[in-house]
Every structure is written in structure tokens, then in C-alpha cells.
Structure 1
């Protein structure tokens, strides 16, 4: 016997149209601009709009008749179509609607879980419109199973537990990553605290060249050499080569050699989200905009990976903030970048520091990459059991 058969134990499941099983309520007349204007961070009443847009307002900001105080299923009917569950006082924009139970034999939360697994059906239905949307008859007529209330409650209990465990695991893994990152930052900064024991040199003395990208916007093509912008540089010190534009081979050929990134060079963002270094660990053709500088370390003076780690240190970031100029968008000029200072111990000491920090880097990268994978696995597990719990035998539907 299947799990559902054991749970039902021969009990028949009634099917009803959603509109007859639950009460449908309307929203309130409010615009996105009004939501933004009335929003107060600690206000008690939540207003839902499409997608993830919400506002918190005071009770007197919304007509009393438009306030729903019942645990409800909120239908996001335009754009990205989905269902939310909320058990505190709320309202929503009037192009949306919500459902709640007035029948003690029907659990609103149970119906919510059933609707969640059927979101693809409604999304497909809405996609037939120019602007994806569904109408109230689409949900009112949708057939839902109504097993005995004790079985509904047990299914809700199990799925609530899975939801809580998934959230708890996500929080634990995120906290672990944060702790390891903080530990890494602490030891990295300690390793670069030399006192007066080592020479302090300007970047220009440590590098063969320091250049920025092209100040002219090059013509873009659909294929060719990747053109990296500052939006392609992540806070995890990586380049996103997937979401890039391209320039022609001819454009790349005409560039100065110091602007052609090669293995062991370091990119460094100098505008907006400045102060993010990226170490180039392979020979690959690409070019970049002027908001990114390229440093080519002098291997006789400084180990390239050592310089990369220095550029990530708190002391160097403080220098970056100190020299950045501009009001709307802070910028580090090439002149200022050349004059920024780094500690330069012996090559042997640099190699020792690099070995330690590379190990920390490997650890934090492993956790950072493993985190979404682990969460995805738990989500798959949750969805498997959710679908199993809500897989009711379909009997004759009632109109």
C-alpha cells in the first residue's frame, strides 16, 4: 500500500471546486506609489502586491472593510502567478484575491499546500495571455480534494515540519559560511600585520604595468571575445563569463598588451562597487571596460597570488575608501591606485602566506558552493514528500 492509502485507510476523499470550498475575498484599491508612500517598517498591517512587493501600513491607512483578519491563501494573479499563505491581518491590491475557510472541516493551510503543487498549471494557464494573468473563475472552478479534517491536519503538520527543517538547515549553513568567512578575514588580516619589519612599497613599484580598460565603448557583437563590465565581477571575486557581451577579434588585436588579461594578472574594480580583486588563473582572451583596472605583478618583487590576497585585506580596502573620489559614484583613479601601498616581505614569506590563505580560500569556496547544492537537495526531498502527501485518488468530480 502507498503512504497515502495507509493514511486514508479506505476513507473516501471528496472533491470540490475551490470557490465552493472556501470564501473568496477582495483586496483594496491602492497603487504601487501609495504603497511606497505609506510604508512603515514596523507597521502591523501587511499589503501584498505582485511578486515580492509588499508594504507595511497602519490599520487606519486602509478601509476596515478591506482588511482580512483570517488565515488566507493570497492569489498573485498577474506577472508571476503564485500562491502565498498568511495568517496575520493583511490586505492586497484589488486585482488580486484571496481565499479562507469558513468551514471547520476544511483547513485553509491544507488547501494552500495543494494549490502550491499546482502552481505550474495556473502559470501555464496565465501564459496564454499577453501579460501572464488568470481570472477568478480559473481558481474558483479548480477542483481540490477534501479528506477528513484529521488527515488534513496531519498532512499540514508534516509539511510544516519539513518547511521549518528546510529553513533551519538553510540558516545553519549560512551561519557556518559566515563564521568561516569571518575567521578567514581575521587570519588574513593578522598575516598582513607586519609592524615595521617589512618594506612598504607602492603598487607601481610591485607591478610591471597598471592599466584600465577602454574609455571608448567598443562595438559589441554576438560572438567573439568576451567584454567584461563591472556587473560581471562578483563579490566572491569571480568573473561571470556567461552573461557577457562580446567584441570582435580585430578590436582585441588592436589593444595594448597591458590591457589584454593573461594568467597571473589581477583585475581590480575602481568605480562604483570598487575594491574587488579577481585573480586570473588561466590564459583566456577577454577585454574589459574602464571601470576595471588590470595589474600585472612583477614576479621578481611580489608573488602575484600574494598581491591578490593583500588587495583583499581590510587595510588595503581602507586605503581604497580613503583615496576614492566623487559624489554620486566613487572612483579610484589610476594615479591613486599606483600610489597605494602594500607590505612586501621576502618571496619565501610571501609563499608561506599564500599557502595558508589558499587553504582558507578553498574551504570557504567549498562551503559557498556547497550551500546552494545542499539547500536544493533538501528542497527536492521536501517536494517529493509534499507531492506524495497530496497525491489523492481522483474520484467523480462534483460540479
Structure 2
């Protein structure tokens, strides 16, 4: 510091000149440098800049409207709303007009260094209170000390040396962090992809639909009986056997009546069809679609179809449930008036979903042991018989519909969470619409001018992608009780999502609120209430699969919006809750491992940055 003091005494014995920034710094509106196309590519050469944290948004191939900055003629880009600044010494285009391009006025270039101005701008302690342009009315009025150019140059050398050290350390840290983050992203996406590869979804697979025609699954044929039915010699007599007709198939339970109404005589047996115990049959006339798994040996009439010789791994009771489900939907279209029928061709065209055998058996376990399974999963059962039957029918239809479609989209309140538990218990990881597992509450109101020093805790949407991490227990900002009472709230464990941003990367960013009390949210954000693991949803939002979906769900160009109603349509993969917890535990460890790096290089960077700021403020603190 001694030689700087000596230079000041020698070169400006009467003190340092002070001028308003606007007197020495010129500004240019960036309108003619705004990029026309947002189709960026790393293959292009011209960077597109913003004065914010992102800095380089991407690269364009546009060849006109390029700002000609260079090492010899650098420029400062100044965010006209946040007052953030960037030093630029290369050609570029800009994203928007929300900035000023700062350079030294032509009549002051011989006695003012732009790099000196750059360093001094960092000493100005000013935070805008309103979302308004800052340079012309406010920032340009701040005064800057202007020692002789020789002194400015010496100060710049000292401060640039500090900056150089920080830059070198930052480069080392960035390389290490990039490597760690690639590892983290790889394992995160693998854990949350649940693809068909053996390693997807932590060695688990998402249920996928495989459709098969009846002919691809099993051989089937009709029963038979000699004609005419009125010939009584075909019935009864010595050694007569059970003869199954439509009337002998029970309405429920996939069973035959205890005894058949008629028996078949030894004379008729050669012209009928024998089915052993455990055979699936279905009625094709009259009361269409009654299904049974025979509990005794019998002969079967031609009004029923018989299934045997399975070509796929199929559980017979699962097959029976699917047959009944199909016929319940299809029988209304069968031909006939008094006796409804269905042709063999129509029948052969039926398709059924064939999941893996273990899933088939779980479905059967649910449907055959409804009360037991529901009690194990803490699904409340109504005592009233009628309501109980309705609930069983609801779960049965939803379970078999999901088996057919492979995606759960129902967002109705009744039984929703119970059904999710049931589906994940049966199928493992399932595909669901986000709105089916979350109640989405849209934020309202809130402006930055509403912030006060203490009061109700509040999270502003912009803070989600600029200030907070994956979760928060305390807030940066507060609002008065009068304002807070009008705002929507998030409870402990809720997910808060930013639904507006200037870029697609930030929109949809989220955090989990872990505070002890409710927190207020404003507009351009929403709250997700869920019984799932909130942290799991948060991690899933970061996956490349979700990011690709998000691109199709957002609207807007300059301002990107992810409306809550569109967010609800996003498809996520949902494993059982216990598996969600295991995945979160693994990813939390990765996140901690990445954060632990802050004990090494980042700590040194922080110390160097503090050194730089100390000497900068000291060097630029002119009397």
C-alpha cells in the first residue's frame, strides 16, 4: 500500500477527483444485438449472453448484429434490473434488452480505465427494491473516485492478480465438481429410470404392457352335446357324469354350482367334451361372460368355451379375471336378442394384457383376498355391505385397467392414495401422472415490495433457482401478517415449484419445505401436497427423462411458463414408498459427497475472494 500512497501524494497532491459514473461511462442499448433464434447449439461459434448467473446461454450461428468486443476493446454488460455485471472481451449476441452495454466515454478514454471501473462497480452496495430499470435513474448517479490513469493501472494489476488466483482455483474446482456431478447424474438417472435394462431402476423394472390375442395365449374350443337336446336318452342313467351348461356357472367366484342341473348319460358322452378339474370355461350364450375354473371333472355343453394348452406363462385365475373383465365390457355388443351370443371370430380377436407371472399372481391375491390385502396395506374398508362391494368393484376395475394400460392417470380424490399403494404393491414401479399422486395448489399475489424484516416466512419463486437448494427449513424473506394471511401456504414435507422463469432450465425447479411452520408462497409458483416421498419427487424432477417432458409442457418464449395444470400431466415413475426412501437415501449421500468438496477448494476460493474484496475496498477507498 505504501507505494500507492506515495503515487497519490506525487500525482494528485490535492486529492482524488470524484465523478458520477454517468459522466465517464457511456451506455448502449443492446436492441440490435438481440438473438433472433433460440435454437442454440454447441456447434455454433457466437455466444449468447445474459448478465445473470448463467452468463452464456448457448451459441448461435447468426452472422449479423454481433457486438464486436475484443481483448483490446472490452465491454461491461450490466443487468438493468438486478445490477449484476459481466466482463466481456469477445464477440457476442444477447438474449434480451434487459441490460446496458457499458464502455468509457470517448472524451475520457485517455484518463479512465474500463477495467478500473469494472473493479469499482463491485464496491457499490446497492440492492434494487423494485423490479425496474436501474442504470439511468439510479446507478449512473453513484460517484467513482478517479485517480490518475497510472494509479488506476497499478490498482488494476493488484486486483487482477487476486482475480487470477480465484479463477485458477475455480477452474480446478469446476473440473472436480463436473466429474462428481456427472457421476451423480449418471447414478441418479439410473436409479430413477426404471428402464427395461437389468440395471435400470436399482435392478427393478417398470411394468410394461404386453398384449396377446387369446389364440396367442391359449388353445380354446367349444364344448359339445349330441342333438336334439330333447332326447332324454342323453341324460342321466347309470354312471352319468356332471354336464355343465350356462345355468351351472355361478355368477361370482369363478366356480361351478355344487351340482350341475343335469347329468350326461354314457350314450351321449362320446359326442360331448370332457374337461378336467381346474379348467377355465366361459359362457358364450344367454348370460354371456360367466367364467369358472372348474372344481370337478365334467362334460361341457357347446354354449361354453373351454381353454387348455396354454402357450404363455399364465395363471389360470388371472386369466379368469381378465376374461370376465373383457366380457363385462364386450358382451353388450354380442349378437342376438333373447339369447345374446358372440361369434368365434369376435372371440378370437379378444386381446388381454399378459404381465410377468409374479405380477399375475399378485393381482389374483388382491382380487381373491381383497379384505386381507387391503387391511395389510392400511386401506380402510367400509362396513356396509353395499359400500364394501362397490369398493371391491372399484379396485378390481382399476387394477385390471392399469394391467391393460400401464399408466395411472386418475386424479379423483376417492381411494386415490389407497389405489396407488395397491398398484405399487402389485406391479412395483408404475407410471403415473403427477396429478394422480399430488394435490397441486397454485400460488397467488406477492411482490418484492411486500418483504419485511420479520413476520410470516415466505418463499419467492425466483429464490427457488437463485438462493435455495433441495430443501429449506428457514426462509430468506418475510411478509407482514396482513399479507401472509392472503397467500397460499406450504406445509412441512410439501414440494414448492417455480413455474416461471426466463429459461427452460430453471422453470420447474423445486424444493422441499422442511420448516416447522407453514410457509407462504406467491404467484409463479405452486405447492405439491403428496403422500409420496417428497424428496423422491424432487430428485425425479432433475432427471433427463423429466426434463424432456418439461420441454413439451411449457409455453412462452421470453418468459417460460409451466402452468400447474400442465405440470399435473407429467408422467413420473413411482416405486413403492419404501423403495422411494431407499433411493432418496442413496441420492442424498451423493449430494452430500458433492457438497463435501466445499471443505477443500471452495473454502480456499472463499478465502481468496474475501482477500480480494478486502484489498479492493481498501485500494478504492479514496478520501
Give the TM-score normalised by the residue count of structure 1: 0.58
- Deviation, 1:158, is 9.8
Q: Which of 28, 48, 63 lines up with 1:33 in the alignment?
A: 28
Q: Which residue of 1 aligns with 2:181?
A: 181
Measured after TM superposition, the shift of residue 322 of structure 1 is 0.9
CA distance in 2, matches of 1:353, 1:50: 43
Partner of 1:308: 538
Query: Are the structure 2 counterparts of residues 311 and 94 from structure 1 closer, same or farther at C-alpha, using a change threshold of 3 Å?
Result: same
In 2, the alpha carbon distance for the partners of 1:14 and 1:292 equals: 54
Instruction: Tell me by how many angstroms 1:228 deviates.
Output: 2.8
The 2-side partners of 1:352 and 1:282 are apart by: 23
Write the distance in 1 (CA, Å) between the matches of 2:567 and 2:30.
44
54 and 183 in structure 1: CA distance in 2 versus 1, 3 angstrom threshold? closer
Structure 2: stretches of 5+ with no match in the other structure: 14-22, 34-64, 79-84, 92-102, 124-139, 196-205, 208-428
In the alignment, the residues of structure 2 paired with residue 193 and residue 331 of structure 1 have an alpha-carbon distance, to the nearest angstrom, of: 26
How many Å separate the matches in 2 of 1:364 and 1:269?
24
Q: 2: CA distance between counterparts of 1:322 and 1:293?
A: 19
Compared CA separation, residues 186 and 18, structure 1 to 2 (3 A): farther
* CA distance in 2: counterparts of 1:350 and 1:205, whole angstroms: 17
In the superposition, relative to structure 1, how do residues 267 and 132 fare at CA in structure 2: closer, same or farther (>3 Å)? closer
1:173 and 1:98, CA in 2 relative to 1: closer, same or farther beyond 3 A? Answer: farther
Change over 3 Å in CA distance of 1:282–1:274 after alignment to 2: same
**Over the residues paired in the alignment, what is the CA RMSD in angstroms?**
5.2
- Distance (Å, rounded) in 2 between the aligned partners of 1:336 and 1:14: 63
Structure 1's unaligned 5+ residue stretches are 5-11, 20-27, 59-90, 101-107, 121-129, 145-151, 391-399
1:237–1:276: 8 Å Cα contact kept in structure 2?
no
Give the number of aligned pairs.
Answer: 303
Taking a change above 3 Å as real, the CA distance of residues 168 and 367 of structure 1, as seen in their structure-2 partners, is same
Checking the alignment, whether the CA contact within 8 Å between 1:225 and 1:249 is kept in structure 2 is no
Match of 1:133 in 2: 143
Render the CA deviation track for 1:32-58: whole Å, top value 9, x for unaligned.
238986984555441557985778799
Q: Distance in 1 between matches of 2:166 and 2:449?
A: 47
- Counterpart position of 2:254: none
> Paired residue for 1:205?
436
- 1:228-280 Cα offsets, whole Å, 9 max, x none, are 322221254466933x351425852x66xxx4211111011222342101111
Q: Structure 1, residues 354-381: CA drift from partner, whole Å, max 9, x if none?
A: 1110011222334468765421312456
- Considering Cα pairs closer than 8 Å and 6+ residues apart, tell me whether 1 or 2 has the greater RCO: 1
Normalization by structure 2: what TM-score?
A: 0.39
Deviation readout 1:78-106 (Å, 9 max, x if unpaired): xxxxxxxxxxxxx8314645569xxxxxx
Aligned partner of 2:475 among 216, 237, 241: 241
The verdict on how the C-alpha distance between 1:250 and 1:48 changes in structure 2, with shifts beyond 3 A counting, is closer
State how far apart, in whole Å, the 1-side matches of 2:573 and 2:580 are: 10
SS of 2:490's partner is coil
Rounded Cα–Cα distance in structure 1 between residues aligned with 2:595 and 2:90: 41
Equivalent-residue separation in structure 1 for 2:609 and 2:184 (angstroms)? 29
Aligned to 1:224: 455
Q: What's the secondary structure of 2:475's corresponding residue?
A: coil
- Which residue is 1:170 aligned to? 170
Q: Is the Cα contact below 8 Å between 2:512 and 2:535 reproduced in 1?
A: yes
Residues 24, 108 of structure 2: 8 Å contact kept: no
